[in-house]
Amino acid sequence: MTQTQKDRPWLIRTYAGHSTAKASNALYRSNLAKGQTGLSVAFDLPTQTGYDSDHVLARGEVGKVGVPVSHLGDMRTLFDQIPLEQMNTSMTINATAPWLLSLYIAVAEEQGADVSKLQGTVQNDLIKEYLSRGTYVCPPKPSLKMIADVAEYCYTNVPKWNPMNVCSYHLQEAGATPEQELAFALATAIAVLDELRPRVPAEDFPALCGRISFFVNAGIRFVTEMCKMRAFVDLWDEILVNRYGVTDPKSRRFRYGVQVNSLGLTEQQPENNVYRILIEMLAVTLSKKARARAVQLPAWNEALGLPRPWDQQWSMRMQQILAYETDLLEFDDLFDGNPAVDAKVEELKEGARAELANLDSMGGAVASIEYMKSRLVDSNAERLNRIERNETVVVGVNKWTQGEPSPLQTEDGGIMVVDPAVEQEQIGRLEEWRSGRDDAAVASALAALREAAKSGANVMEPSIAAAKAGVTTGEWAEEMRKAYGTYRGPTGVSGSVSNKTEGLEDIRSRVDAVSDQLGRRLKFLVGKPGLDGHSNGAEQIAFRARDCGMDISYEGIRLTPEEIVTSAIDDEAHVIGLSILSGSHLPLVEDVLVRMKAAGLQNVPLIVGGIIPDEDAERLKSMGVSKVYTPKDFELNTIMSDIVTLADPAEIAAE
């Protein structure tokens, strides 16, 4: 049945930010001129984890995966000539969400905006950070309190703002099945709503529920993914009615934005990713009942590195063609009453309800973080096993691997590379900012912030005051660390001996033989230096090494090069493996190698994995790295064999 009026398109966004606030501002204004209808801000890792650009942990990470925002001046530059009152802005920020929203509000006020009219979303989902992405700062309970602080403040002062974006996107990136993605995300939403319910009058709670939004992932199995979205709609409605007694259908609407899957983008034959992105977009647009409110697409080359403006434009054009050239928005839901769709939706809902009941029996999402993490690592291992066994076909990776060179990969390597000089320039601006502010006003603002955190008061108002006084991101986060403590999330990788031997017998025999020659079990240390929290690859390497019979050491994310080398000494590691996906591999690996040599470990083989261009791989090898692995090296058993060879005394003697 045709519509009497064509539906409005979803918000068209591009996830963007890099190098500096000035460069990112130019990119935003260019994208808006090309037809983008909303902004989606990517922040760099120091900003996400609450460090200023000159902190030791920020080394090599400044401006790499997003824009550095250290203070009000940076935020002011980021949105220069962009009227925030007229904008719909999504900010992908979690641990430092109260602070970045405070900076945004302060800039809006400087622009003369009516803050009550601001529209947008701050991600503000810490539970998924413990499970998949790693940009957390404080422990779960105080983090949940700060999420509620933002929601409570926005409800009163910025009512059109979505104060929390339950983010299942990264759960799928970490290996979640559709049922796990549904259950773990909804359990997170329940934990937040339970925290919020006592903060507002009962009659206002339904409206607050209506401001909670979701940010989801759509993978390549697009029929299943479309059914997952319909299941999300039904389950959210069910939870709000049964658990919270929300009667207004408008307040129960499942409101979500989406970025389609980056996990399935391939380094091999990367031009094929264009088709993958389009197919995945259909999963969240074809069904009117479960259509996304906002869509952002990765670029074809994101498995290679940072996309260029043209690459992002190409993905944006894909959205515009579907929204404006096709007749999709002229029809009611295309799938209502379809028996195959209905059956799949019910199957997904049944599986998600069972997992939700399981989580509830363990005390809810916060109490179940370790369980959920281990389940994600297991699911991801199964996913990789299916690809290795060719049970899951990935075109250009494990089937039809022969092809023509891509003409899209031009002389620049087909990606944007952030100038290393950006870091020192940003540090210079930060020092200039500090020297030009009123130190007494800063001290007073920090004291008020400290008192609010200590007393349990809402931190938003003192955070906005601190933003206006010139406080920096690192200073704000340090007050939160002092008040609430820090946290190291579970790795999901047990060090216990595994009984998984299928397909591993030959490698296990080699590990046993080499261990006998070494006089003890082959010790493999996996380290993640810097602030990169994307730990999926490191977890799967450690997981497989353990299954192959190695003695593994993996302490999780966010270690300094000094801590990694100290662990290598203490553990007497035979081989060290580093995982770095943020593009900061050159400075971080160099730092580790210098420290290894100073500690007398120059003969211990070092291997490195990450999104590493060929030219950088050669530089790493010239520095002394034994092996470099990128996403195209998906056969983990080959990597395991390399590790055994590197540790084998007979092989070393023969060199």
Q: Which are the catalytic amino acids?
A: 15, 169-170, 528, 532, 534
52: alpha, beta or left? (left if phi > 0; alpha if psi -120 to 50): beta
Cα–Cα dist 580/526, whole Å: 11
Listed residue (44, 108, 50, 148) closest to 471, CA to CA: 50
State the Cα torsion 260-264-266-269 to the nearest 10°: -80
437: alpha, beta or left? (left if phi > 0; alpha if psi -120 to 50): beta
Encoded amino acid at 115, one letter: V
Count the residues in the chain: 655
Q: Which two tokens stand for residue 362?
A: 């363990």
569 and 637 Cβ atoms separated by less than 8 Å:
no
Cα–Cα dist 522/345, whole Å: 47
Q: Which two tokens stand for residue 129?
A: 């950070």
Listed residue (612, 604, 546, 552) closest to 579, CA to CA: 612
97 and 127 Cβ atoms separated by less than 8 Å:
no
Please return the burial class of 199, using the count of CB atoms within 10 Å of its CB with bins 0-12, 13-18 and 19+. middle
Bridge-based pairing state of the strands 256-260 and 213-218? parallel
Residue given tokens 């109490």 in the structure block: 367
* 598: CB partners within 8 A, 6+ apart: none
Cα–Cα dist 198/194, whole Å: 8
The counts of H helices and E strands in the chain are 25, 15
* 124: CB partners within 8 A, 6+ apart: 93, 94, 97, 147, 150, 163, 164, 165
Listed residue (437, 457, 439) closest to 448, CA to CA: 457
* Start-end of H helices in 111-199: 127-128, 140-157, 169-173, 178-196
Cα–Cα dist 315/416, whole Å: 16
DSSP helix/strand/coil, 280? helix
Q: Which two tokens stand for residue 97?
A: 């969400």
To 5 degrees, how large is the angle CA 178–CA 504–CA 652? 125
Q: Which two tokens stand for residue 193?
A: 């709503």
Three-state SS sequence of 241-278: HHCCCCCCHHHHCCCEEEEECCCCCCCCCHHHHHHHHH
DSSP annotation of 203 reads G
